[in-house]
Amino acid sequence: MSIKVYAFYNNKGGVGKTTLCSNASILYAEQNPEKQILVIDMCPQANISQFLLGGGKAGYDNNQKLQSAYSRRNVVGFVDWILKGNADFKLLPKNSTYKVRASLYNEYIPENLYLIAGDSFLESLSLALNYAVINPANISAWKDYMTAIKRLCESEKVSASLGIALHQLPHQGKTFIMPDEKEITLTKNTYEEAVENVEDLVSKL
């Protein structure tokens, strides 16, 4: 199964990553109702998670509930699991609950849009990821960790994954969308172009 992976990335805050990713993912899901769309929030601020989970205080509270579960039901739960000796996984455990259907929390979200929510603790786990990747005893570490998101999507039978990243694993995406104050840049391999708006962006995904 062909999986499309997109990373919304800019190391600078306030340039529109959250707004652009949320609007693009919702529009993409509406235009492709037969596909399962997954948003992976890899920003410690978890703003897009709070938006998709209901917005405002409701979104914040719902995201806190996912964080406070015994085994975190979000991106930190997933990263923690692969750090515990599961980096070469092919399938997720049958009882894994990292992914949630956003429409269960927010009636305005298409039913085919799912979320792996962000978590402020991701910042701390990044150091553990760095050590795991540079460990000379683990000769497959780089490949295992750098393909983790793609294998996660394959395991979950996802058609398209749109991820927002501040600086956590942005290279997991095959296509980069980088908003800044002046324009939105879409980059595929060495091909780069500017897009005018969300509709224009989604038409190129």
Concatenating the DSSP letter of every residue in 104-129 gives GT-TTS-TTEEEE---TTHHHHHHHH
Q: How many CB atoms lie within 10 A of CB 69?
A: 11
Domain ranges, residue 156: 4-168
- Whether 184 is in a domain gets the answer no
Structure tokens at 61: 């509270």
Query: Does the residue 69 lie in any domain?
Result: yes
pLDDT at 164: 59
Span 79-105, average pLDDT: 89
Does a structural domain hold residue 203? Answer: no
Whichever domain contains 36, its CATH number is 3.40.50.300
Nearest Cα to 174, choosing from 161, 183, 185, 165? Answer: 161
pLDDT digit string (tens) for 10-54?
Answer: 777 778 888 889 999 999 999 999 999 999 998 888 999 999 999
For residue 84, being part of any structural domain is answered with yes
Per-residue pLDDT of 49-70, as tens digits, reads 999 999 999 999 999 999 998 7
Q: What is the pTM of this model?
A: 0.86
In percent, the amount of the chain with pLDDT more than 90 equals: 35
39 within some domain: yes
Domain count, the chain: 1
The answer to whether residue 64 is domain-embedded is: yes
The predicted pLDDT at position 167 comes to 42
Residue 165 pLDDT grade (very low, low, confident, very high; cuts 50, 70, 90): low
Domain annotation covers residue 83: yes
User: What percent of the chain stands above pLDDT 70?
Assistant: 92
Is there a domain that residue 205 lies in? no
